[in-house]
Amino acid sequence: MTTPAIEAHGLVKVFGGNRAVDGVDLTVEPGTVYGVLGPNGAGKTTTISMLATLLRPDGGDAAIFGHDVVREPFVVRQLIGVTGQYASVDETLSATENLMLFCRLNGLHGAAATRRTHDLLEEFSLTDAAARPLKKFSGGMRRRLDLAASLIAQPPLLFLDEPTTGLDPRTRAQMWDTIRRLVATGSTVLLTTQYLDEADQLADRIAVIDHGRVVAEGTADDLKSSVGQQSLQLTLVRPDDIPRALDAALDVLGIAATPSPEARRLTVPVADPARVTDLLVRLRESGVDVDGLSMDKPTLDEVFLTLTGHGAGDDTPDAAPVPELAEVSA
């Protein structure tokens, strides 16, 4: 039996009257990528901070490779690397100076520190910019430097807090490659993300977290199949018809459909595609005009919508109307 890389039970963190993390359980097996998926403010960063000994839990317990985060914080710190949501490197220092500093703090001195710094700059394609002040670095370069600094001690467990938020697609793909390579060396990675495709692409298991609680946990496939094998996407002519269409879906298929952000669309999980005809007939009988329809394999986005009743990226503009619609349908 192997010791889990992370084992957390009932983690709680309260800020004032706000339970930012409200009883989170996590088990992460060594050598895997674990994705923590949730919107802004769901409690992802707070959870990582407690696991990484940056914040003291107000309740529950957590162990990293069997070492308790409260009783043995110093041991835990020897086993983890943390890359924050905002690049946590020293802005007044150059890339080389940053890496040299973190080498020294990790017990590497002289030639060993110089060699490690050189190798990391090379590996993360930062050699050309090594001496430049960090103020002139792009977002992607900062993230790379940040990650490089976390890898100096070659920690067996890495926390990546939204490693690709704000990066352009190309840089994101590079970051994904880097993460995959890390796992190939035997590292365990816990990453938080607001991007469903990122969790889908990288994570072996995913925990969906919302309002400080884990609302679902499993592999990407587990989560997808929990909302049905396929789904029907319906676009209505009039947004006003949404409540009636929801009623019809409930009546015919016995399932609660999810209104989608654009306000005219419905996502209906469908176990048996043959029943779709019944639903369409019912809609015509009730005078609900359909503008378009398609059958789709479920995406994690739908998983998220189904589980939490709101979209994953709260900062994406088209997610905003969802809470109102949820009220209408309630």
Partner 1 sequence: MTTLTAPAPAPASPITPVHERTLRNRVSFRQGAADSISMARRGLVKIRRTPEQLIDVTLQPIIFTLMFTYIFGGAIAGSVADYLPIIIPGILVQTVITTSAVTGTQLREDMDKGVFDRFRSLPIARIAPLAGALLADTVRYLIATTLTIVMGLIMGWRPGGGVGGVVLAGLLVVVCAWSLSWIFAFLGVIARSASSVQGMSFLILFPLTFLSNAFVSVDTMPTWLQGFVNVNPVSHLVTAVRDLASTGSVTGQVGLALLLCAAVVAIFAPLAVRSYMKKA
| Among residues 133, 166, 273, 323, the one that binds partner 1 under rule CB under 8 A | 133
Task: From 144, 156, 153, select the one nearest 190 (Cα to Cα).
Answer: 156
Sketch the per residue contact string, 201 through 240, with partner 1: x for CB under 8 A, - otherwise. Answer: ----------------------------------------
CB of 96 to partner 1, least distance (A): 11
Interface pattern 90-129 for partner 1 (x via CB under 8 A) = xxxx---x---xx-xxxx---------------x------
Angstrom distance (rounded) from CA 15 to CA 80? 25
Selection from 216, 243, 222 nearest residue 325 by Cα: 243
Nearer to partner 1 among residue 162 and residue 301 (C-beta) = 162
The answer to whether 156 and 5 are in contact (CB under 8 A) is yes
166 is a contact residue toward partner 1 (CB under 8 A): no
3-state secondary structure (DSSP) of residue 200: helix
The verdict on 197 binding partner 1 (CB under 8 A) reads no
Out of 151, 191, 196, 283, which residue is the one contacting partner 1 (CB under 8 A)?
A: 151
> Would you call 148 exposed, middle or buried from its count of C-beta atoms within 10 A (0-12, 13-18, 19+)?
buried
Do the beta carbons of residue 4 and residue 49 sit within 8 Å?
no
Query: Token pair for residue 326?
Result: 């949820």
Q: Which of 143, 213, 170, 158 shows the shortest CA–CA distance to 34?
A: 158
Tokens representing residue 109 in the block: 């001195």
CB of 86 to partner 1, least distance (A): 5
For partner 1, the binding residues (CB under 8 A) are: 3, 30, 52-54, 65, 67, 72, 74-75, 77-82, 84, 86-93, 97, 101-102, 104-107, 123, 133, 149-151, 153-156, 173-174, 177, 181-182, 184-187
